[in-house]
Amino acid sequence: MTNSRIAGFYKKTLDEKLDALAQASDGTRPDFGLLTTQQADKMVENVVATHNLPLGIGLNFKINGVDRLVPMVIEEPSVVAGASFMAKLARKGGGFFATTSAPEMIGQIQVLEVADIHAAKMAIYEARETLIAEADDIDPILKKLGGGARDLEVRIIENSPIGDFLVIHLIYDVRDAMGANAINTACEKLAPRIEKLTGGRVHLKILSNLSDQRMARVRCTVPVASLAFDDFSGEAVRDGIIEAWAFAASDPYRAATHNKGIMNGVDAVVIATGNDWRAIEAGAHAYAARNGKYTSLSTWGKDADGNLVGTLEMPMAVGIVGGATKVHPTAQAALKLMGVETAAELAEIIVSVGLAQNLAALRALATEGIQRGHMSLHARQVAIAAGAEGEMVDVVAGQMVAEGVVRIDRAEEIMREQGLVD
Ligand code: MEV
């Protein structure tokens, strides 16, 4: 049984951290490896190198009663610490409670030049069963695992720049895959029959990244007393968070930033597991605008006892088989450390981290402001940029934070004043 609470993790050396992870999980040190240039060369074109990013561990996560150590890949300071701290607070309310829908992706088939668009729509529905059966056969392995074509929907797109046309949505259960290949293949396979049935010309055949039939949802409750810190009462922090959320719920300018904070957590896990973060981003923002006005992906309110309650709902098309998830050694190690056995479990972890990250940002913004927390970590980056190395980094960063001046010129000055450089 994994234990996601590791005291003083951030103070440990790199080596000690890996030992602590082993102790807190299955006894083996995670081997995050490195994608070699040779492996990378087989993944994309014109490869000359690989590009590394920091991988930190999100701590304290309890999701549906199970502790999870969560690898997060991100270049931005404060995100891993913020998510871990908020997971600790959420834990006091039982942790995160997450669910997923069936892993159903949508494939789109665009049909142009149809003489009678309404009759063509009916013709597709009349052939629904056989079309589904045909699509179902394209991937025998997926079918054996319980996946396959589930449904067809026909939409009429009116008044487009080229006039009206038909769009068929093929709903496909892709189980533990991200599913792009299966759904695209199925759409291409159906195209000739759809042309015959409609008398039209099939144009695009491609999945939709607005995968709103493949949703992940999460809820957490933070006891109001645990929100108190410094001079801020729990009630003041809670109400400040709710007021901050109301801003995002009502204003797209704020919602974009609010959701960006959620995606700080979401993308970090998506990237760690080798999944397609552009697909997740596209789905998230399209979903946030689904009612015609861009809004918050999360909600924040209070329960009958005055505790803070947060929820997050978003499309989550991630897989644990195929693609980079299988090829990338770090992605494999990340899935292993999390103890993830299905794509649904991974999706539940991802939205929990997104909600925790959202809470971290709102709590900071609603109280002391974002810069204070950011500054100490940012100061380390500035110190490194100024040439500080080893222990020098913390000395220089610490002094800049104490002075409230975090700038590269000041870092250089401190290094000279302290005799750390000539
Ligand atoms: C920064 O990466 C993310 C925040 O701007 C999110 C937010 O404003 O809610 C802090």
Q: What is the pLDDT of residues 345-359, one digit of tens each?
A: 999 999 999 999 999
How many helices (H) and strands (E) the chain has is answered by: 16, 10
For residue 369, is pLDDT > 90? no
Q: Answer yes or no: are the C-beta atoms of 300 and 310 closer than 8 Å.
A: yes
> Residue 109: which of 181, 168, 183 has the closest Cα?
168
Closest residue CA from atom 3 of ligand 1: 261
Q: Are residues 172 and 40 part of one domain?
A: no
322 or 98, which is more confident: 98
Mean pLDDT of 308-335: 93
296 Rama class: left (phi>0) / alpha (psi -120 to 50) / beta? beta
Question: Is the shortest distance between the CB of 361 and ligand 1 below 6 Å?
Answer: yes
Choose one of 183, 207, 231: the last residue of a domain. Answer: 207
Can you give the pLDDT at residue 317? 97
One domain for residues 227 and 348: yes
Per-residue pLDDT for 377 more than 80?
Answer: no
Band the pLDDT of 327: cuts 50, 70, 90: confident
CATH assignment of the domain containing 143: 3.30.70.420
Cβ burial, residue 286 (10 Å; 0-12/13-18/19+): middle
Last residue of a domain, which of 207, 241, 276? 207
Residue 329 lies in a domain: yes
- The verdict on 184 and 47 lying in the same domain is no
The verdict on 161 and 228 lying in the same domain is no
Residue 120 pLDDT: 98
Q: What pLDDT shows up at residue 134?
A: 95
Amino acid at 131: L
Looking at every residue in the chain, the average pLDDT score rounds to: 95
8 Å CB contact between 190 and 170:
yes
Specify whether 24 is located in the same domain as 51.
yes
- Side by side, the strands of the sheet bearing 163-173 are 148-160, 163-173, 104-112, 201-207
Place of tokens 């199970």: 66
* Enclosing domain of residue 119: 104-207
Give the count of domains, the chain.
Answer: 3
Report residue 391's pLDDT band, with 50, 70 and 90 as the boundaries.
confident
Give the total residue count for the chain.
Answer: 422
For the cut 90, the answer to whether the pLDDT of residue 418 exceeds it is no
Residue 368 pLDDT? 86
Contacts of 35 (CB under 8 A, 6+ apart): 50, 328, 329, 330
Q: Whose CA is nearest to atom 9 of ligand 1?
A: 258
Query: What's the rounded mean pLDDT across residues 10-14?
Result: 93
CB contact burial 98-107 (16+ within 10 A = b; e otherwise): bebbebbbbb
Is the minimum distance from the CB of 420 to ligand 1 under 6 angstroms?
Answer: no
Q: How far is the CA of 325 from the centre of ligand 1 (A)?
A: 28
Q: Does 258 sit in the ligand 1 pocket, CB within 6 Å?
A: yes
Task: Note whether 148 and 187 are same-domain residues.
Answer: yes
What residue has token string 């080893």?
390
What is the pLDDT averaged over residues 407-412?
A: 94
Q: Is the pLDDT of residue 105 over 90?
A: yes
Residue 225 lies in a domain: yes
Whether 178 and 120 map to the same domain: the answer is: yes
Residue of minimum CA distance from atom 7 in ligand 1: 258
Domain end, chosen from 333, 351, 367, is at: 367
Does ligand 1 have an atom closer than 6 angstroms to the CB of 371? no
Same domain for 267 and 241: yes
pLDDT at 374: 73
What global pTM score does this model have?
0.92
pLDDT of residue 46: 97
